[in-house]
Structure 1
Amino acid sequence: MQALHDLKDEDLQGLAPEAIAALAQQMLRHLRQQEIEIRFKDAKIEKITFQLARLKAWKFGAKTEAMSAEQRRLFEETLAEDESSLQAQLEQARGEPAAGAKDDTQTERKPRRKPLPDHLRREDHHHEPDNTNCPSPMCGRPMVRVGEDISERLDIVPAEFFVHRHIYGKWACRCCECLVQDAVAPQIIDSGMPAAGLIAHTMVSHFVDHLPYYRMESINARSNVHTPRSTLASWSGQGGAALMPLYDAHKRFVLSAQVLHADETPVAMLDPGRGKTKRAYVWTYARGAFDAVPGVIYDFCVGRGAQYPVAFLGPDDDGHGATAWRGTLVRDEYAAYDKVMVAQPGRIPAGCLAHARRKFDELLRDGGKSAVAAEALQRIAQIYRLERELATLTTGERLARRQQDAKPLWEDLHAWLRLERSRVPDGSSTARALSYSLNAWTALTQNLLDGDVNVDNNHCENQIRPWALGRRAWLFAGSELAGQRAAVVMSLVQSAKLHGHDPWAYLKDVLTRLPTHLNSRIDELLPHLWQQPAG
């Protein structure tokens, strides 16, 4: 059809009228086809533009605020996929180059993404013109290389299995008939196949990435490596047992904090006798939210009774000279904590403002329009806004600002709560929400007396999140022992993550060193003291 456009008047001279008519009909059909394609393209662009606008409305709309954290995370991931897909379709419909196909040498638009980490291995691919002579017809001389532009693209090679070959030379004295050979280095699993790195990888995949063993078995099989799920479980079991002395030392470190956060979450545990699962609990203890050296430890228990935290915090002697914990405990108003507080003298309760707020938030959601709930949320929001400003201050500065700025807000809130409580009948939802804060008032305001105490227990709830993610993947703990082993591993790797360590690098080094490490120096392997080995 392009040839028709190139025709000139002189080209048409001498053509028969029938030929000219045929060319005109051909041109007309082509124009109609172009018009149809343009209308179709415009309609497609309009549709995609509308879908993009709707996605953005969903993304920033108020309805997303009603989602739970998990729902919102899944929604945002799906939204990102959809938005990228629609944007690519829109660029394709408009005939624009895809974002990834644009010239990397353009300097007018700087990329916003962060530079790729320096420690990643680089593979250089050199691209030079086939002909380096000047393309000008009047020149043709060889050109001089004056620089280069570099663009980087991130790639990955799936997990690579490799084999350590330990070759022990044998040396013999023919006259003395003696044989000398280097001793075999002790390993976590002495007579087994896995090295420390593979044991660490298995434990991280299961306890950090929450992969069930049967999935890990199929993943390894893609590399033609046969690792039955029972073998993987055995490796994790032996690795967890080796970490027990380190877990005990970590417990002593966490419980040395003067401010401690505590919370518990349910986890299903298999009950083989009944062929069902029953409810067990993971108790979480974290050093204070403002502590310069963070740490968290988990305790897997078969129940939620007060005897479990009392036993964990309260023994006078654990065989290592540790005494019962004393300090300020940030927790919610679950009744079991009352027994924990009186189990040892010197324990101070601190409340959770987030739990108090939650009562009013539930009242507003379930009860519709509640002026009391709306007012309470506004007053609590003022306290939180101030606390965000104080987060980076020192303990003394934070306490001084709380006495000066936060205390009046708390006093106004207290007076308002008592006034509203006197106006509502007993037994109502509003009365229960008001009474929760009033009954816990002394604990809720402990932060006004100690700058190291946070206003809520969200710090501890964030440390429980790995268990919430894990129980959705592996569904239940196979036994009480398996739950306790998970608590050991997750206590160490979660604390390592709090200090910015890679969980696999940490566990690999620890499992390598533990067989020959002196127990008297076990603290050197704790997450807050561990140093990445050179090289």
Structure 2
Amino acid sequence: MHAEPAALPDDVQALKALVLAQQAQLTERAFEIEHLKLLIAKLKRLQFGRSSEKLDREIEQLELKLEELQVSAVPAPSRSASAAPAQIPVRRPLPEHLPRTRVEHTPTCACPDCGAAMCKIGEDIAEVLDYVPARFRVIQHVRPKLACSACERIVQLEAPSRPIARGLAGAGLLAHVLVSKYCDHLPLYRQSQIYAREGVEIGRSTLAEWVGGCFHLMDPLVTALARYVTAAGKLHADDTPVPVLDPGRGRTKTGRLWTYVRDDRPAGGTEAPAVLFRYAPDRRGERPREHLAEFSGILQADAYAGFGHLYEGGRIREAACWAHARRGFYELHQSTQSPVAAEALERIGALYEIEAEIRGSPPEHRAAIRQARAGPLLESLREWLREMLARVSKKSDLAKAIGYVLTRWSALTRYVDDGTIEIDNNAAERALRVVALGRKNYLFCGSDAGGERAAAIYSLIGTAKLNGLDPEAYLRHVLERIADHPINRVEELLPWNVASTLVDNPAVELAA
């Protein structure tokens, strides 16, 4: 809006004050526009991000188009005798651990020309990878009764124990149900439909009872896992929301799944990695205090205020996450192409390049390299951030991103002098991905008790995967033994203690 000449003051000082006021308004408006652009960009990424149905459909269409192009590129077999021989692609041999079924195609023993007998001089073998659908089976436990003709005594062995007392499901089926729900994200009603196609009717309520029975059976094992995790000197922690049915209100409420990861392999550690999930009906700060009551050491986590009370007293020390610190600059650069954000990303990237070189090295070596190389980069970054903060508006999103880093500087740089600490909290975020995938499929937990069951089974499956085990094979192994296993030796069934007894199941990889 332009002022009329007659309305402008004649006094020079008043005129300067008016100009300065208008400049301040324009500056404030520019920062508001920048903030709104960033907010709109964030909302668009949420609306049209990878998890949206619209983009999923577009990806599916592109994949179908690619599939059609690949199929169309395969030439039809020529019937002409003069056609050039087709080039045979070089393929990797099929895995040796797969069972082989030999099918012989033997010609007649008489020579087609003279009729004389023929002898074998060799053979050609061509292997084809085939698939046999999974099948149910019924195991009959037969217990003969033996009678003594002299004293008329009858002897019969006791029935073997079952994972679930008087239950019809064997350990293999129970393990398959658990892995299908909590690892492959198949809700129980879908599993029921799949089994019905095999001619086996198992209701969803029956499957739910089996899941609950397995939870109670393996609860002592999860308790042992929790003791192992919280005995570590360093943990990664994070949490994620989980919708939970709230029958009294006729809607869902928001529960939380917390994860605590023990993994020192990046620092050359030889102890087994493990992950512990805990469910809570809310996100109050007392939840992590309860979960970590027995823990002391380094806790690497985000800036959630509920963790703040844990650091009082010195029993638990904070290590912050550079991935979270980087995220604010990344979002700003994606939405506004800010050169300041771009430079911040480049400087943080240099820190990650150092980490890639020393991953897996002993803590002493990591600390020495970080002090020599990352230390100067961090000091330069700190001074640069302070300089940029003085130039930008305190209300801008760039100032918020810079403030996040500077206010947590001590926790963000603690990793430099301690080689056991990681640069970020990605170990915990990776552990939570399985929860995010499952949440998309089965939508919500049925109750708080359902959240506790999910946390327990996520813990066992996640730990098995961290130790390189097939989770279904591991759970089958546990369910076959845990009912008769002494509870004071339940640690013997933790994944790293049974790894040597489980047969490896390498993935089948084909390359055309």
Task: Specify the alignment match of 1:3 in structure 2.
Answer: none
Residue in 1 aligned with 2:95?
A: 117
Partner of 1:348: 317
- 1:176, CA displacement in angstroms? 2.5
**Paired AA for residue 514 in structure 1:** I
Q: 2: distance between equivalents of 1:534 and 1:131?
A: 46
1:330 maps to what in 2? 300
Match of 1:89, as an amino acid? S
Report Cα offsets for 1:357-394 as digits up to 9, x if no partner: 1000111223x131110110111111111211111322
Q: Secondary structure at the match of 2:127?
A: coil
1:162 alignment partner, one of 115, 119, 137: 137
Residue of structure 2 in register with 1:271 after alignment: 246
Q: Could you tell me the TM-score, scaled by structure 1's length?
A: 0.78
Which is worse superposed, 354-363 or 198-207?
198-207
Conserved? CA contact 2:109–2:118, under 8 Å: no
Aligned residue number for residue 318 of structure 1:
none
- Who wins on radius of gyration, i.e. which is larger? 1
The residue matched to 2:495 in structure 1 has which SS?
coil
In 2, are the aligned partners of 1:288 and 1:453 still within 8 Å (CA)? no
The answer to whether the 8 A contact 1:506-1:532 is kept is no
For residues 152 and 487 of structure 1, the distance between their equivalents in structure 2, rounded to whole angstroms, comes to 43
Residue 280 of structure 2: aligned partner: 301
Q: TM-score, normalised by structure 2?
A: 0.81
Point out the more displaced range, 143-152 or 117-126.
143-152
1:239, 1:388 → 2: CA distance?
41
SS in 1 for 2:356: helix
Alignment partner of 2:203 out of 209, 212, 228: 228
Residue 471 of structure 2 corresponds to which residue in structure 1?
503
Alignment-derived partner of residue 65 in structure 2: 82
Identify which of 315, 328, 332 aligns with 1:359: 328
2-side partners of 1:443 and 1:152: how far apart? 57
1:44-73 residue CA offsets vs partner (Å, 9 max, x unmatched) = xxxxxxxxxxxxxxxxxxxx9x98565799
**1:243 aligns to what SS in structure 2?**
helix
In 1, the alpha carbon distance for the partners of 2:419 and 2:364 equals 6
Q: Which amino acid aligns with 1:355?
A: H
Match of 1:213 among 188, 192, 202: 188
Deviation at 1:494, TM superposition (A): 1.1
After the TM superposition, which residues 242-253 of structure 1 pair with which residues of structure 2 at under 5 Å, given as runs?
A: 242-253=217-228
The aligned residue for residue 377 of structure 2 is 409
CA RMSD of aligned residues (A): 2.8
Change (3 A) 1:67 1:393: farther
Identity percentage of aligned residues: 40
Counterpart code for 1:334 = Y
Q: For the Cα contact (< 8 Å) 2:473–2:502, is it kept in 1?
A: no
Query: How many residue pairs align between the two structures?
Result: 448
1:379-398 superposed matches below 5 A: 379-398=347-366
Q: Hey, what's the Cα distance between the residues in 2 that align with 1:167 and 1:338? A: 60
Cα distance change on mapping 1:381 and 1:87 into 2, 3 Å: same
Contact 1:196 1:512 in 2 (8 A): yes
Q: Distance in 1 between matches of 2:433 and 2:146?
A: 56
Determine the structure 2 residue equivalent to 1:321: none
Q: Which amino acid aligns with 1:361?
A: Y
In the alignment, which residue of structure 2 is the partner of 1:522? Answer: 490
Matched, 1:469 2:469: no
Q: Note if contact 2:229-2:274 (Cα within 8 Å) is conserved in structure 1.
A: yes
Q: Indicate which of 449, 457, 462 corresponds to 2:417.
A: 449
Which residue among 220, 231, 234 is the counterpart of 1:259? 234
Residue 218 of structure 1 and its aligned partner are, at CA, apart by 1.0
- Please give the residue correspondences for 1:109-188 in structure 2 after superposition, counting only pairs within 5 Å: 109-111=89-91, 114-128=92-106, 147-188=122-163
Pairing partner for 1:433 from 395, 401, 411:
401
Q: Return the alpha-carbon distance in structure 2 between the equivalents of residues 276 and 263 of structure 1.
A: 26
What 5-or-longer segments of structure 2 have no aligned partner? 1-44, 504-512
| Aligned residue identity for 2:69 | L
The residue type equivalent to 1:359 in the other structure is: G
